Structure 1
Amino acid sequence: MMIHEITAKAGAHKKRKRIGRGIGSGHGKTSGRGHKGAGSRSGHSARAGYEGGQMPFFRRIAKRGFSNAMFMTVYTVVNIKSLDARFEDGAEVNADMLVKAGLLGDTKQPVKILGTGETKKKLQVTAAAFSESAKQKIEAAGGSVTVAS
């Protein structure tokens, strides 16, 4: 095989559609917008689910039941193995320390410690919530668990 025989992978680079460049291009005249109507006009962008004046689907169907999604607490989770890898023996672990260690992006959401992994370090962990296994593993290693409000 010679260097001039190597070709780009087929389909890796697709040419862009050049609209409004004459009838021979296949995308001339109306530029793929069709004739008349809101979709053919400049500046038109229908919102998602818009059905052209017809009663939209989400308004046609019945609304029933209750969703707790608005009220549920969403936690940022951290595993014990991550704490064991990032913190020294006897360290105090809280949300601010987790951000400094690079385990959290920010402290906007409450933190929950999960029990995946093992630890032999005596850590003083403060978080909004703990799984039962995480609590047992931290206390078994000689550390302490504090639930922050």
Structure 2
Amino acid sequence: MRLNELRDNQGARKTRVRVGRGTSSGKGKTGGRGVKGQKSRSGVSIKGFEGGQMPLHMRLPKRGFNVPNPKKLNAVNLGRLQQALDAGKLNASDPVNTASLKSAGVIRRELDGVRIIGNGELKTKLDFEVFGVSASAREAIEKLGGKITVLAPAPSKDDDDAKAEKKAKKKAAKKAEADVEETDTEEEALAEETASGDTDNEDNQSE
């Protein structure tokens, strides 16, 4: 083989379709874009539009709740910790935290913290300083006499009080608005009654 004989495999390079080159080419006239209209123009993107009908993605029911700023946590099983202990990568006397797990190769990145999951069996007493612990993992750790320090911020009492106060204010404002509307309705009814009485008096006097 010579350098001038080097070429791509058959079919590796395809010739670009040249549109608008006569009706006999198969891509003439409208050039494969169909008939006239908005979608036959360039730069048009109509996603989910159904001609004014409510689109499918809006008709379907919504379920659940998406947290706006979710935490990215490393989930670590108890069985994986025991493997690291057996391999000598984790020291049972040191607290298990993000830094120690990363140095032991149990996790790759620190992310926002570590959550311990109860899968597998832990045979060694360990102390934990982690973002969260599942109920089954907590039970297994405390059964061995381990200590757990949860680093996740717990909801404070001030936050609960603020929420309750805000709810009470909203309820009071709604009640006050309803009372005002009821008072206005009563005043309007009284005014109408007075006006009808005056009209009756005028009719009696004219008679």
Q: CA 1:38 to 1:126, structure 2 compared with 1: closer, same or farther past 3 Å?
A: same
Cross-structure match for 1:39:
39
Residue in 1 aligned with 2:138? Answer: 135
The answer (yes or no) to whether the contact 2:115–2:133 under 8 Å persists in 1 is yes
Once the two structures are superposed, the pairs formed by residues 85-124 of structure 1 within 5 Å of their partners are: 85-86=83-84, 87-100=90-103, 101-103=105-107, 105-108=109-112, 110-124=113-127
Q: Which has the higher helix share?
A: 2
AA at the equivalent of 2:138: K
> Shift of the alpha carbon at 1:85?
2.4
- How far is the alpha carbon of 1:19 from its aligned partner? 3.7
Structure 2 gaps, min length 5: 1-10, 85-89, 153-207
Query: What is the CA distance between 1:67 and its match in structure 2?
Result: 4.5
**Structure that is richer in strand per residue:** 1
The whole-number CA distance in structure 2 between the counterparts of 1:39 and 1:32 is: 11
% identical equivalent positions: 30
CA contact (8 A) 1:120 1:141 kept: yes
- The residue aligned with 1:3 is none
Check 1:131–1:56 CA distance in 2 against 1; reply closer, same or farther (3 A cut).
same
- Residue of 66, 69, 75 corresponding to 1:69: 66
Q: 2:18 aligns with which of 20, 40, 53?
A: 20
- With normalisation by structure 2, the TM-score equals 0.47
Kindly provide the CA deviation profile for residues 53-102 of structure 1, in whole angstroms up to 9, marking residues without a partner as x. x14426974989x8443379666322111222232322322234344435
Bigger relative contact order, structure 1 or 2 (CA pairs below 8 A, ≥6 apart): 1
Report 1:4-15 matches (<5 A).
none
Aligned length: 132
Calculate the TM-score normalised by the size of structure 1. 0.61
